[in-house]
Structure 1
Amino acid sequence: MEKAKMRGSVYYQTAVLTKLIFFEGAKKSDRVNPNHEHYGCVSSFKTMESYRNVWNNFFNYLQEHFKLKNCELITDEHIKSYIEYKIEYYPSKQYLEKIISALGKLEIALNRYSKEKYQFQIIYDFKIRQKLLNNARDLKLVANNYHNRVYDNPLLIIENLSNPKHQLAATIQLEGGARSEGVTLIKKEQLKDIKIDEITNKSVGVIETKEKGGKVGDVFISTKTYETLQNFFLQNNTSYFKISYQEYIDDIKTTCQKLNITHHESHGFRWTFAQNRVREYQNHGYTYEQALQGVSWEMKHFRANITEHYLGH
């Protein structure tokens, strides 16, 4: 059988998958029986609607950040990236658990789709979602508690990363507060030259990034880091800077282990930026409340109290 690709909008694809897993009124005894056709399925319309909303959000995230438009190509790397992205926003325990459950049902739906469609089935395994949920609970990354993810010595970590491109990406996160998706792909056209930082009155390099939810904004980095990025484009005769997200976070993890430093992945550089930047605002005459709001906008949030989360309040 010729292998067809799942096509259509996000909402069309989730509708197709919903039909494979939703059986209204299916008995619980059948849904927990591995030998029954309704095993692992959903019988409640309200629950299915809730799960499908998560799927829609997840697929939109994949299109935005990975340019992935075919849900058949989803891997555990995409699952990991999405969950970590959600954890950064300090979700409630219940909301995170709903996401984990929805992704579990997505795994079942994709396996059913593949089994029906192809002679040689694609096997989907998203068990990493449970590991990430357990880690979030253990590290108190859900909203019933707090865990400080700031790196005490971020420069030491960056200096010891094995890949110079990873060093540059981490430096941009540390200096400018960019999310990981803002540094894994940077196009030459995103460089917006040198300008004066209105807070410190110092010269900074400007990178325009498009991150969560399509939010566009400027990331301010040191002129030295900006020149390093410019030189990368010149020396490599390329129009984009690109790294593998998975290889990047693996390098950070390995480096932290070697240095015996608690590992906070790439988010740790963003958290460190937030604390440093709030102090910078205050050192230049801004009130605490003004600093919170200013840093929140720079990190592409809206509410000032989001920044307080990075400060441990």
Structure 2
Amino acid sequence: MNDKWNFSMDEKTMNIYRNLNEQIDKVFRHTRQGSIKTRYRYEDGMNHFAKFLAETFKKQNLNKIENKHLQGYVEQMQESGYSKSYITTNLSAIRFFVDVRGGDSKKLSINKKLGVLPRTREDRIGSNKAWNDTEVKRFIEYANNKNEFRYADMVNLSYSHGLRVHEVARLDKSQLGDALEKGFLTVKGKGGLIRSIPLSNKELVERLYKETKSGEKVFINKEEKTHKVINNLQVFIYNHNKEFRNSDKSLTFHGLRHVYAQRRYRELTQKGFNDYSARLKVSRELGHFRVKITDIYLS
């Protein structure tokens, strides 16, 4: 990630940041607006914004958040490679905070004026940006050479099983143990949908199982926040694309689900499944309710 976000604060700036955090904590401790999950995510977004305010503007309080603060924040996040989704969610967190505090978030510029365009269909679902086998191999070698062993394993696991990045990040030791015992990796995806995927990289799962302590997550340490690990991984992939890709296409973590879908579809049709049955099975393994959505991954 861009070094701008590796804050090395002097004592004065750190005190400002702590003061801003106290203001944020007070608001979120007493509000009951929104779901618990939303409040947690918004509070984290505000803490991220507070770091920026302390470092860049030396702002002592959050009573008056202005467009100049949002504009600078957006520009710095974009320069650092944050996803459009992450940026828009953090802006929503700021507006939520302003309104809960009794302000009027409608006075702040809309995202478009801040240079943040709405997520496109491609952002939500993804175009056909499937990695090929060589690109996956190159990434794993590159990440390992950079001592980013966790990133290498997360990419490898998604490539093997078609998991979303959040599903990979949430895996714990017990899930891997069950997978080794039953031959299926079971995960909870979007909408709470539970699905089982055939275990296709037993060697990797066995190693991760041995390396993970009982009761702990595979890739997230206790002191870490899941979304930060996910974002750092995505930024790493974005910043180092040229080191492992074979073409000019931009590779993302989501593209690993594309390559899984295409590979799995070929496997199933070679085993005798007709076109619809193969697409339906791939759809279920990706965690989709409709076959039509899966067609995007296969095109």
Q: Same fold (TM over 0.5)?
A: yes
Partner of 1:225: 204
Quote the RMSD (CA, aligned, Å): 4.1
Cα shift readout 1:101-153 (whole Å, capped 9, x = no counterpart):
x985663342354586xxxxxxx99969976647x55xx7179x983211123
Contact 1:296 1:307 in 2 (8 A): yes
Contact 1:185 1:240 in 2 (8 A): yes
CA distance in 1 between partners of 2:96 and 2:115 (Å): 21
- Residue number among 138, 145, 150 corresponding to 2:130 in the alignment: 150
- Residue number among 163, 166, 171 corresponding to 1:186 in the alignment: 171
Larger helix share, 1 or 2? 2
- Residue number among 82, 85, 102 corresponding to 1:83 in the alignment: 85
State the 1:195 CA deviation: 6.1
Contact 1:75 1:126 in 2 (8 A): no
The one-letter code matched in structure 1 to 2:151 is: H
TM-score by length of structure 2 reads 0.61
Cα shift readout 1:213-257 (whole Å, capped 9, x = no counterpart):
112222333111111211211xx5663212411121122223313
In the alignment, is residue 169 of structure 1 matched against residue 191 of structure 2?
no
CA distance in 1 between partners of 2:110 and 2:214 (Å): 38
TM-score by length of structure 1 reads 0.58
- Secondary structure at the residue paired with 1:184? helix
Q: Unmatched 5+ residue regions in structure 1?
A: 15-58, 85-99, 117-123, 197-203
- Secondary structure at the residue paired with 1:263? coil
The one-letter code matched in structure 1 to 2:122 is: L
Partner of 1:141: 122
- Secondary structure at the residue paired with 2:196? strand
1:1-150 equivalences in 2 (<5 Å): 3=23, 4-7=26-29, 12-14=32-34, 62=37, 69=40, 71-74=42-45, 83=85, 107-114=94-101, 133=117, 141=122, 147-150=127-130
Contact 2:245 2:251 in 1 (8 A): no
Q: Unmatched 5+ residue regions in structure 2?
A: 1-18, 50-76, 221-228
- Secondary structure at the residue paired with 1:183? helix
Q: Percent identity?
A: 19
The one-letter code matched in structure 1 to 2:45 is: I
Larger strand share, 1 or 2? 1
CA distance in 2 between partners of 1:193 and 1:171 (Å): 16
1:220-299 equivalences in 2 (<5 Å): 220-233=199-212, 239-243=216-220, 244-261=229-246, 262-299=249-286
CA distance in 2 between partners of 1:246 and 1:150 (Å): 20
